[in-house]
Amino acid sequence: MEKENALQILSGGGKDLLLGQAMDLLDGVLDYKELMMGYACAIKEINTKFEVLDTEFEVRYKRNPISSIQTRLKSQTSILEKMARMGIPPTRENIEEHLNDIAGIRVICAYIDDIYLLADALTRQDDIKLIRRKDYISNPKPNGYRSLHLIISVPIFFAESVKEVKAEVQIRTIAMDFWASLEHQIKYKQNVEHAEKVIARLKECADEIAHVDETMQEIRMEMDNIKEDTTGPEAIYEKLKKIDISLM
């Protein structure tokens, strides 16, 4: 009934203007949905690539470099706000050209060296194009923020076309992610008293966390360098356990 009423209104006399506006609106909505579909598919592609790398390490080295993977598709409101701040009309062409972080993937690792290992393994793949790399681990932000940021593009194969889609990848340790999450919450609180002291203390915490990350990596490397017996019953048992690793 609702559909019939809507069709009667749109097809009634003197409603050509309304019909044209409705068609324009629908075209715009469908165009936006198609745009976001590409970014959603890029997230799936990149997420799968990281899962494959994590599985490879589990089988070959019996450890997982990835603790967790978080994904995010930028909302329409956030897109419009960012385009407004940039002073650029929010057309599809402008969005695709000027926004690199609509598709977001955050990879959380246990150790610092795993960050660079995963970043290099990803960007060496033939279908990945590295657009920009910002290393906030070697060069932290003034507030203490640490993470490795990659802007990449990946081809998405649709039924009748192939489209290159950009995405932002952030790779950080568990400790870096913990600090960034708390800093984000504190930063958006209004009317914070003694803001300068709070900022200074956050910077101190970031430095302490960085020291912990470095220490934990040193301990792991020391453990890795310990030579184990590869011929005894325990060694054989450990190799058999590798075979039992679930690949699904």
The predicted pLDDT at position 125 comes to 97
Q: Is 208 a catalytic residue?
A: no
Q: pLDDT at position 9, please?
A: 46
Share the mean pLDDT of the chain: 84
Structure tokens at 2: 């609702």
20, pLDDT greater than 70: no
- Looking at residue 210, its pLDDT comes to 94
- In which band, very low, low, confident or very high, does the pLDDT at 106 lie, cut at 50, 70 and 90? very high
* Alpha-carbon gap, residue 133 to 130, rounded angstroms: 7
- Checking if the pLDDT of 18 tops 60, the result is no
- What would the mean pLDDT of 214-232 be, rounded to a whole number? 80
pLDDT at 197: 81
Residues 25, 165: Cα–Cα separation, whole Å = 25
pLDDT over 80 (residue 122): yes
Select which of 4, 56, 168, 222 is catalytic.
168
β-strands 103-109, 162-173: how paired?
parallel
Residue 245 has pLDDT above 50, yes or no: yes
Contacts of 167 (CB under 8 A, 6+ apart): 39, 42, 43, 46, 100, 101, 102, 103, 104, 105, 151, 152, 153, 154
Q: Which of 45-54, 103-112, 193-202 is the least confident region? A: 193-202
| pLDDT at 10 exceeding the cut of 50 | no
Where is 73: in which H helix or E strand? Answer: strand 66-73
Strand partners, 231: none
Beta strands of 86-190 (E only): which ranges?
Answer: 103-109, 129-135, 148-157, 162-173
pLDDT of residue 22: 46
